[in-house]
Chains A and B, each alone.
Chain A
Amino acid sequence: MATQSVEFANVSFALADGREILHDISLRIEAGTTTALLGRSGSGKTTLLRTVNALVRPASGRVRIGENDVGAAEVIPLRRSIGYVIQENGLFPHMTVARNVGLPLVLSGEQNAETIACKVEHVLSMVGLSYAELGSRYPWQLSGGQRQRVGVARALVTGPKVLLMDEPFGALDPLTRAEMQTMLRDLLKQVGVTTLIVTHDLEEALYLADRVVLMDGGRIVANLAAGEVHSSPIDAVRRYVAATRRSDAA
């Protein structure tokens, strides 16, 4: 699957109780680039991410992947063409590493066990894991970092059009987290898939992404190239940068 752009046009979403989570979001993410959705908890970044694979349906507005309208697409094939990584518990505890990673291939109709094993081995090596060593282990037999690598491998095994990551390294210790960031940065360069990463960590956003989109209260308050963030005059960005510096100093 060739990677594709993602476009949000006037996307709004409210909960059943009327609380507005997304307010008139418009944003275009060019094919093959990585964008970080940055913001505090409750800013709407995860909800925005989940409109891309139709886990959330916007109340109004449109989401497009390439030329295709997500709202009009058939949900199952759409979701199979999009990789999705979450913070934790994303691996099925009753399946081995090999079965977890091979599952998207099985779901999309691949029946040849050799083809599956071959693709699983390849994608595991891309995230720095050995099929021979870990393929037959269960998630509880892995370290936190290994589990997250397996999650990334599963999201990439079908060669998705778009990769969505929701706080992928939020549950990891700082050292493992740094290793994962290095791995992911190289991997994304190599694969070149359009990627959206939700994070509240500014350093992570700057390290991984080409563009940083800052959200607050369901709105986009800044959309900057990664290099522009530290020099941005926008008040909300300056406050976010200052808060990050303070936590670094502490």
Chain B
Amino acid sequence: MNAFLHAHGEEIARLTFEHLWLTAFAMLFAVGIGVPLGITLTRYSRLARPVLGLANIVQTIPSLALFGLLLPVPWLGERAARLAIVALTGYALLPILRNTYAGILAVDPALIDISNALGMSGFQRLTKVELPLSASVILAGVRTATVTCVGVATIAAAVGAGGLGELIFRGVASVDNSLVLAGAVPAALLALCADGILGWIEKRLVVRR
């Protein structure tokens, strides 16, 4: 064990960092797209079904296939990390989009009514009422997305984007279980940490009624 860590410790640390970096960027984009888009869908309900449907379809594409399919795309295929981040963003989008949409629609209609009656503008209603009251639901979506993203990011190694998947793929190819574990254990720990931290924040955002 010690000898193994001595030999691979630095590499594990570097790949863990790479893994984090891929996931973090993908989540940043997914939140940046998913939350505003989810809000927009609550305002234009006719768009909700097609857009959520599309995000659903992206979610069902097997991750290895999605990475492979994106490889020949001109600008994307040039750099593996770029491709990985785009694919991961696609996976993370659905839970965030769906929870933002559902969370805002679940706000008590009586409170929406009162917001309007108090003379709030649409933007004031959003920032003062709808977002604070749906924050915990939206964050639950971000949490699901993050955990999925950490897992799927291991596949990014298949297109050469690095991350902990590299150790797993190498371990599988050389039938070396300790290499597989060296990739899988840190990836699982990352997912657990993200889940724990985001879950803690989510609990704090729940509004008691």
Contact = CB atoms under 8 A, between A and B. Distances in A.
Contacts of A138: 208
A92 B129 CA distance: 8
A78 B117 CA distance: 9
A55 B118 contact: no
A207 interface: no
A20 to B, nearest CB: 22
A92 B114 CA distance: 9
Contact of B208 (A82, A86, A93, A107): A93
For the residues of A in contact with B, the DSSP-based class is mixed
B1 interface: no
Nearest to B135: A94
A89 interface: yes
A92 B108 CA distance: 10
Contacts of B207: 93-94
A86 B111 CA distance: 10
A79 B208 contact: no
A76 interface: yes
Contacts of A86: 110, 113-114
Contacts of B119: 75-80, 104, 107-108
B46 interface: no
A107 B116 CA distance: 12
Interface string B103-114: 000001011011
Contacts of A55: 113, 116-117
Interface size class of B (residues with CB under 8 A): 10 to 19
A118 B116 CA distance: 25
B118 A107 contact: yes
Contact of B209 (A75, A77, A108, A140): A140
A95 to B, nearest CB: 9
Contact of B110 (A75, A76, A77, A89): A89
Given A92-B111, A93-B133, A94-B132, A84 B117 contact: yes
Contacts of A84: 114, 117-118
B110 A90 contact: yes
A167 interface: no
24 contacts: A55-B113, A55-B116, A78-B119, A79-B118, A80-B119, A82-B117, A86-B113, A86-B114, A88-B110, A89-B110, A89-B111, A90-B110, A92-B114, A92-B128, A92-B129, A93-B207, A93-B208, A94-B133, A107-B124, A108-B119, A138-B208, A139-B209, A140-B208, A140-B209
Interface of B: 108, 110-111, 113-114, 116-121, 124, 128-129, 132-133, 207-209
Given A78-B119, A92-B114, A108-B119, 15 more contacts: A55-B113, A55-B116, A55-B117, A76-B119, A79-B117, A80-B119, A84-B114, A90-B110, A92-B133, A93-B209, A94-B132, A94-B133, A103-B128, A107-B120, A138-B208
